[in-house]
Amino acid sequence: MPVFDFNNAPKEKKGVVCTYTTFSSNEKTTSAEKPILVLDNKKRQWKHHSSGKFTNPTKATTFEFEEEDGTVTADILKIDSRFVSLLKWLGENHINVRLSGENTENGYAVYKIRETAAGGVTKLSAEDGFLQFMIERLLASNPPIEEELDEDQEEEGDSMKLTSIQSITDFMNCAGRTLPDNIRLWARRNLAVARSNEVSQEERHHAQRALSIMMNIQWKNNYFEAIDPVEARKILDEELYGMERVKQRIMETIIQINRTHTLPAYGLLLIGPAGTGKSQIAYAVARILKLPWTTLDMSSINDPEQLTGSSRIYSNAKPGIIMDAFSMAGESNLVFIINELDKAASGKGNGNPADVLLTLLDNLGFTDNYMECMIPTVGVYPIATANEKDQISAPLMSRFAVIDIPDYTIEEKKIIFSKFALPKVLKRMSLKEDECVMTEEALDAVMEIYKNTSGIRDLEQAAEHLAANALYQIEVNNLKKVEFNGEMVKELLV
């Protein structure tokens, strides 16, 4: 992180100069050999304990020593990358500190920083307690990933959040008619409420919060760029074994998007036994569409208000889960993965959560009670999963293209276990494939044990158990490899 020194700058403009570099360190303790930072000591040798303050690192990269003959500055030469933000904070807040360090050939190596009161007297206060807390936390942390600075690269505004009335107003003035018409008019009304002195503070707070949520979402149109079919097929083959009918249906959807540049009128409903990879399919589709995704777990939603939000007449009012999803994604085009759709009709509150989904699925717009505005949903692609088709209402079923996910055959499970599940677990445990070997008899034994279970979750757990046992035997019994036979598998898994 470059920080620039403007001390003693002449009147004519010159290029700014970075005075220090950062270095990465994993050290948990500090010393003169393992310093927090290094100061220039060519002009003067600094005392073991020296007081002063850091200048604001956004303006200068120096430390101002309070010496008997006045204030003397020294450039910062090096900083542990973990401490850059802390030193900036100390400088911005003009905190008086005492440095402990030693003069070396490379500079004054600082290994301890304490807060002091004016005059160099140690200030035993909560502030120093906070400073020591931060230093301990930073020493216990890993160094940040260094990024190369491109001087031609402009600052990105992705981290900017519109929260204040002024920033929201400026944004609305600049955005103009690029916002959807209904949202632009809604924002004007809410801005008037947020500024008004004729309404309660609570109403102003709700209006400002709603504006902040709405303005921080990038409202996109319903035009979608073409998707590379070859890349899409590659992703499906990486994520899913077999399931050719399912892959074919997804590829048909991709080709349709490429021709129309809009999302299909119907989302996907994946119906099949537990553990057959329905959620995996949904995540693969989101990856292909290059859209952010969110999940709605209908089994945990028992009141429509959880989806639609609560009215602003309540002091603890808040948006619903659907609006929160838009806010978290930061844009209006996203994939909604609706898990366990067959549980949507089992609401225990004041209504049926399934009814709320109908407006979301129609792509005509969704109204959140807290926002009090019609939210465009033309860029929302719903993908639902369910175990039982007969538990889903007819109106919900009619809004999806239904894909039945069959359970895997024994032969398919055998290939998934040996070629996908077990190698994945071995890699995660840092085991080589020749350190955990499954004989054909052992594979048959695994299939026999789990022949009556649906899906592949049990197989994945079995792979985890077998790999963990192999690792234990290698580490404890000093074996070079473990080769499982049928008896060993049955003894371990049954």
Residues 271 and 392 in one domain: yes
85 with 202, same domain? no
DSSP helix/strand/coil, 199: coil
Mark which of 375, 404, 433 sits at the end of a domain: 404
Instruction: Work out the angle at residue 387's Cα, subtended by the Cα atoms of residues 381 and 390, and round it to the nearest 5 degrees.
Output: 95
Two structure tokens written together for 67:
């010496």
Question: What is the mean predicted confidence (pLDDT) over 306-326?
Answer: 90
* Residue 237, in any domain of the structure: yes
User: Do 340 and 211 belong together in one domain?
Assistant: no
- 262 token code pair: 């809009």
Dump pLDDT digits (tens) for 163-192.
888 888 888 887 787 888 899 999 999 999
Q: How far apart are CA 109 and CA 30, in angstroms?
A: 10
Q: Indicate the pLDDT class of residue 2, thresholds 50, 70 and 90.
A: very low
- How far apart CA 67 and CA 83 sit, in angstroms, is 25
Burial 46-72, CB ≥16 within 10 A → b, else e: beeebbbbbbbbeebbbbbbbeeeeeb
Quick check: is 7 in a domain? no
| Total count of domains within the chain | 4
Per the CB < 8 A criterion, the answer to whether 235 and 284 are in contact is yes
- What gap in Å lies between CA 50 and CA 41, rounded to an integer? 13
Higher-pLDDT residue of 68, 441: 441
How do residues 426-440 score in pLDDT, each as one tens digit? Answer: 999 999 988 999 999
Which residues have a Cβ under 8 Å from the Cβ of 480 and sit 6 or more positions away? 435, 474
Q: Are residues 45 and 173 in the same domain?
A: no
- Chosen domain end from 378, 404, 430: 404
Cα–Cα distance measured from residue 373 to residue 368, given in angstroms and rounded to the nearest whole number:
7
Query: What's the confidence (pLDDT) of residue 86?
Result: 86
pLDDT at 9: 45
Domain boundary (361, 381, 404) is at: 404
Residue 145 lies in a domain: no
Dihedral over Cα of 479, 481, 485, 490: its sign? positive
Measured CA to CA, the distance from residue 494 to residue 487 in angstroms comes to: 10
3-class secondary-structure state, position 274: coil
Mark whether 170 and 266 lie in a shared domain: no
Structure-token pair, residue 457:
């979750």
Question: Residue 103 — very low, low, confident or very high, per pLDDT cuts 50/70/90?
Answer: very high
Do 282 and 198 share a structural domain? no
Average pLDDT, the chain: 84
- Does residue 372 lie within any of the structural domains? yes
Looking at the predicted structure, is the pLDDT value of residue 261 above 70?
yes
Q: Which pLDDT score, from 0 to 100, does residue 207 have?
A: 93
Name the pTM for this structure.
Answer: 0.66
pLDDT attached to residue 453? 84
Cβ(344)–Cβ(299) under 8 Å? no
d(C-alpha 110, C-alpha 91), whole Å: 16
My answer on whether 182 and 43 are in the same domain is no
Question: Residue-wise over 326-343: b if at least 16 C-beta within 10 A, else e?
Answer: beebeebbbbbbbbbbbb
Inside any domain, residue 8:
no
Based on the domain organization, do 335 and 461 belong to the same domain?
no
What does the DSSP assignment read for 71-138? EEEEEEEEEEGGGHHHHHHHHHTT--EEEEEEEETTEEEEEEEEEB-TTS-B--SHHHHHHHHHHHHH
Residue 38: is its pLDDT beyond 90? yes
Q: Are residues 339 and 257 in the same domain?
A: yes
Task: Name the band, by pLDDT with cuts 50, 70 and 90, for residue 129.
Answer: confident
Q: Residue 112: its pLDDT value, please?
A: 94
Give yes or no: residues 129 and 32 share one domain: yes
Domain-embedded: residue 151 = no
Question: Which residues form the domain of 281?
Answer: 229-404
Query: In a 3-state reduction of DSSP, which class is residue 224?
Result: coil
The reply to whether 318 falls in a domain is yes
**pLDDT tens digit sequence for 323-357:** 998 998 888 898 999 988 888 765 555 667 877 88
Residue 5 domain-assigned (yes or no): no
- Together in a domain, 354 and 384: yes
Q: What's the CATH code of the domain at 304?
A: 3.40.50.300
> 384 and 236, same structural domain?
yes
With a pLDDT cut of 90, the percent of the chain lying above it is 30
The pLDDT assigned to 241 comes to: 79
Q: Quote the CA–CA distance of 113 and 127 in Å, as a whole number.
A: 13
For residue 224, is pLDDT > 50?
yes
Q: Is the dihedral of CA 395, 272, 304, 307 positive or negative?
A: negative
Model pLDDT, residue 195: 92
**Which pLDDT does position 111 carry in this prediction?**
94
